[in-house]
A and B are shown apart, each in its own frame.
Chain A
Amino acid sequence: GQNIDQPTEMTATEGAIVQINCTYQTSGFNGLFWYQQHAGEAPTFLSYNVLDGLEEKGRFSSFLSRSKGYSYLLLKELQMKDSASYLCAVRVFSGGYNKLIFGAGTRLAVHP
């Protein structure tokens, strides 16, 4: 089966750095995505990793280790608006299609 694990909740302070971990056990790995989702809204794309290493995009960075089945999302200089759920999703090839399998999400609360 497909399994994606990430912490349920995290809290952090405005201006700080937070790292959200994601481990996965899937078949047909074809890339890993991070999305941000505010309550009641659709997910918005943050980052994509298909090769091992770090991808940096402004205040957000994402890391992937395929051999370890592990990724993390790093958020720097936290702002109050970063309070949201962060979804780790693995792209797998199944049933003839590429599809995204989502983790349960990590709810991040940023405090002043």
Chain B
Amino acid sequence: GAVVSQHPSRVICKSGTSVKIECRSLDFQATTMFWYRQFPKQSLMLMATSNEGSKATYEQGVEKDKFLINHASLTLSTLTVTSAHPEDSSFYICSARDQYVAKNIQYFGAGTRLSAL
């Protein structure tokens, strides 16, 4: 299957600092990438849909000024958690669809575990 790379895998930050998470599709082009958040023992909750060259679409209840998304190329989307606080500590996972092959399958990155102290 297609490969999605996510970096960093783990980050610990001081409360009030911003954290940037990168999501790359390594062997395919993705016009659309997705950002999820997962709390312990809970399922994945879609935060936003990232579109190459345009503004992201945020799910209800997700603050766009808090979670900045940039999708500058067909292989890279970034999520910046601005002024992270302990309640933002979670597992953040990105996924992408190969627009030309196997369009129906979303491939996931390995996730980023954020701990804001």
Contacts and interface: CB of A to CB of B under 8 A. Distances in A.
Interface of A: 31, 33, 35, 40-45, 48, 50, 87, 91, 95-97, 99-105
Interface residues of B, number: 23
A93 to B, nearest CB: 12
Secondary structure dominating the interface of A? strand
Given A42-B110, A48-B105, A102 B49 contact: no
B46 interface: yes
B28 interface: no
A50 B49 CA distance: 22
A87 B42 CA distance: 10
B49 A43 contact: no
Contacts, number: 49
B116 to A, nearest CB: 18
24 contacts: A33-B105, A33-B106, A35-B108, A40-B91, A41-B110, A43-B108, A44-B108, A45-B106, A48-B105, A50-B104, A91-B104, A96-B57, A97-B32, A97-B49, A99-B34, A99-B46, A99-B49, A100-B46, A101-B46, A102-B43, A102-B45, A104-B42, A104-B43, A105-B43
